[in-house]
Structure 1
Amino acid sequence: MHAGPGLLCCYVDSGARASELLGLRLSDIDWQKGQLWVISKGTRERQPVPVSPTGLAYLAAYLEEVGLPEDGQPVWRSRRGEVRPLTYWAARRVLQRATEHLGMNWTLHDLRHTAATRMARDPAMTLAEVQTILRQAHITTTHLYTVVALDDLVDKLAEHYSRPQQPTTWSQQYDVEDIEVVFGAR
C-alpha cells in the first residue's frame, strides 16, 4: 500500500493542514484516543487533531507494509527512489494522480475544506467545536464552511412549493386603493 489512501483519509478526517500532517511522527499518533499530534501552522505549538478509525486503519496498514520510520522521522515517506520524508510537492503529486484518475482537480488544501465543510454541516457539532478542531483563530473563518448545499435547498424548496398558499391579508389601516397601486389588483 502506498501513502495515498491513508494520507488522503487522514487529511479529510482531521482537517489538518498539508504541512502539519506531513510532519507527523510515530510518537504523534495516539491510537487509543484516535488523534494525531501536529505542529500547528498558526501557533507552532503541538496540538491534537482527530482522526477516524478508518484513517487509523489505513495508517496502520501503510506502516505495516513500509515499516516503521526511524526514531524522530516522519511517518509519511516517499516510495520512489531513496526512502525519504514525503515532501509537500510529492504529496501534492499523489493527490494529483488520484484526482486525474477520478477526473477532478483537487488540491491538498481542498481536503482541509472538505473536512471543515463536513464538520460544519453536522447538526451535532457547533461552529465553535469545528473552530477548535480546525485550530482557527477567528470564528468568522470557520463560518465560511457553513454554506448550504444546493441539494439541501432543492428538498426544502420542494416542500415550500407543495404547501398550500395562504391568502394575503392587509391591515385595515392601509387604503385598499394604495394596496392595488403597489401590488396590483387583489
Structure 2
Amino acid sequence: MMFNRANDLLGANWTLHDLRHTATFLMLDDPNMPPVYVQKILGRKYLSTLDIYKRPNRGDVIRAGLAHHARQEKPAQLDAQISRKQESVDLGIPTFREIVARTTAAATPPEPA
C-alpha cells in the first residue's frame, strides 16, 4: 500500500485515522466550509461530535481577550459616569455631612460678646 511506503520513507507511523483527523481540522478551519457539510463527509450522526476538532485561531483568541477586558473596564467607567452625574445634580437633598454640620452648628450655643 502506498500509504505504508510513504510512512517507511518518512520514518513515520501515521495511520489513515490520523489523516482523517487532519482533514477534519483543515475542513473546519475553512470559513467557506459549513460544519454541517463536514459532518456529512465524515458520516457523523450529530454535529456536536465535531466539537473535539474545534480550535480557536489566533485572531479569535485575541478578539475574545480584548472583549473580556473591555467588559471589565465598562463597570468602572459606568461607576465614574454615575458619580460625576450625581455630583452635578443637586436635588436639594442634604448629604449626611451637611446634616451633621447643621445639627452641630445648631447645638452649639453662641459665644458671649
For Structure 1 versus Structure 2, the TM-score category normalised by the shorter chain is 0.3 to 0.5
TM-score normalised by the chain length of structure 2: 0.48
**Structure (1/2) with the larger helix percentage:** 2
Q: More strand by proportion, 1 or 2? A: 1
> TM-score if structure 1 supplies the norm length?
0.31
